[in-house]
A and B are shown apart, each in its own frame.
Chain A
């Protein structure tokens, strides 16, 4: 009996792998994917990177202008994240089961958040380009919308997880809605809330580089110009400075997380 169960399980496992390999093969044929060529081109890519994609003395001279653009990108993403998180907190409170005011508002805020979250940031940037043109405001709104959608979702779960029991106790003492929020919900969930905001700031620095290429602002724009004018040395310096910035932000936010938790 038990042996049968094991055999059945093994057969299922086999079927799963056969199916997986079948699907992979099928789509490789459709997309004309050549695995041998893709593997052999890896060394070529590495060689190209090593011979072209490094900063030289010429590109170092451009560092001040890169850094000033990088600063613009960082500030833009911080501004978008902080303002979006304020709105997300409000919608998170409405959307959470623990702190909902009524069901209608709950469903509404979850739906809005879901729509904003599920439209990719590049799509947002392209849509907003029509209304705001090529400037920082477009990038700001694109980042704002996606961050708002994502953080609302994250905050709803944080609030539900962290504060159900204390909310119940405060309700029983006769506390009003906003007293419960400020005395119970926020103190219980503030570490996770800050953690999510820091995470989004990191993510947005990366995303705003990408958005910058489209909107013609910030460090993404600079990268695009160098890259298209085949100044790969300067382009590599941009990439390196972005990587270092993201590292620095990550280290800082890890430190902050350790202190507040």
Chain B
């Protein structure tokens, strides 16, 4: 079943920089999609248009039967609760504890006042602890986030996204700041979420080999346009070079 449909999406920043032009694709429920492409190709913009963190200039995005492009504030809030987001720099509130950061994922479901004073139900707290246990952070629950390593911080980020009960998880370069070891742990967790919980996942990735290994489908972007959309098996060397605008032998993955 189709979860996300992107139709003729364009984004032009002030000053005339074209980040995306005429992007079309749709994602089915349960898919694991990676978007690859050089820096500045518009990958981050594309991801952020999906949950309207960035307003698209033109085109339409339909998520779970709701058009995201012209949506009122109340409905946007509802849509965002269904979309978890994971960031390159984890984007945690460093001075708060791990458990508080995980519970932030519930804010979208709360009234403003409940959210301000941080009033969470027993059920939510229990769920938060369950998620931390599952991600191997049980002993870190009361630590402040600035005491964690990068890999641990990213796992807190994953827990925060999962406690939203999302239908879709957007991952913006989730492993770009991590060492190879932590990267594998994070990617395995994220793959697990996709396979076991059936949550649709869209990734921005810099590592072509990682994208090939984990994804069901790869979308190649260059200069704001999709130039490849298909399975990892069909992604040829030439196509990779076309995506990155490089010549044979120039890429570090070879």
Contact = CB atoms under 8 A, between A and B. Distances in A.
Interface of A: 163, 165-166, 168-176, 178-179, 182-184, 187-188, 190-191
A173 B116 contact: no
A173 B107 CA distance: 7
Is the contact region of chain A dominated by helix, strand, or loop, or is it mixed?
helix
B107 A170 contact: yes
A170 B51 CA distance: 12
B53 interface: yes
A179 B107 contact: yes
Contacts, number: 87
Interface string B51-78: 1010000000000000000000000111
Interface in B79-121: 79-81, 83-85, 87, 89-96, 104-110, 112, 115-118
B155 interface: no
Contacts of B167: none
Given A172-B83, A176-B77, A188 B95 contact: yes
Given A179-B110, A183-B104, A173 B92 contact: no
A101 to B, nearest CB: 12
Max chain B CB contacts within 10 Å: which of A172, A182, A183, A184? A172
A170 B76 CA distance: 14
A166 B115 contact: no
Given A178-B112, A183-B104, A187-B96, A173 B80 contact: yes
B220 to A, nearest CB: 25
A165 B153 CA distance: 14
Which 8 pairs show the lowest CB-CB distances between chains A and B?
A: A174-B108, A179-B115, A174-B80, A169-B91, A175-B107, A172-B85, A165-B91, A174-B81
B164 interface: yes
Max chain B CB contacts within 10 Å: which of A171, A183, A188? A183
A172 B104 contact: no
B95 A175 contact: no
A188 B104 CA distance: 14
A188 B101 CA distance: 12
A261 B80 CA distance: 33
A166 B85 CA distance: 12
Contact of B87 (A169, A182, A187, A190): A169
B4 to A, nearest CB: 16
B115 A172 contact: no
Contacts of B43: none
Contacts of A174: 76-81, 107-109, 164
A173 B104 contact: yes
Contacts of B104: 169-170, 173, 175, 183-184
B93 A182 contact: no
Given A168-B53, A174-B78, 11 more contacts: A166-B91, A166-B93, A169-B92, A171-B53, A173-B80, A173-B81, A174-B77, A174-B107, A176-B112, A182-B117, A184-B104
A166 B96 CA distance: 11
Interface residues of B, number: 35
B107 A172 contact: no
A190 B90 CA distance: 20
A73 B79 CA distance: 54
Given A171-B53, A174-B107, A182 B91 contact: no
A166 B91 CA distance: 5
B91 A173 contact: no
B80 A165 contact: no
A187 B95 contact: yes
B92 A166 contact: yes
Contacts of B51: 172
B51 to A, nearest CB: 6
A261 to B, nearest CB: 10
A172 B160 CA distance: 11
Contacts of B90: 165
A43 to B, nearest CB: 54
Max chain B CB contacts within 10 Å: which of A179, A182, A190? A179
Contact of A183 (B53, B107, B157): B107
A175 B108 contact: yes
A188 B81 contact: no
A178 B78 CA distance: 17
Contacts of B115: 175-176, 178-179, 182-183
Nearest to A184: B93
Contacts of A165: 87, 89-91
A179 B91 contact: no
26 contacts: A165-B90, A165-B91, A166-B94, A168-B91, A170-B104, A171-B80, A172-B85, A173-B160, A174-B81, A174-B107, A174-B108, A174-B164, A175-B104, A176-B77, A176-B107, A179-B107, A179-B112, A182-B115, A183-B93, A183-B96, A184-B93, A187-B96, A188-B94, A188-B95, A190-B95, A191-B95
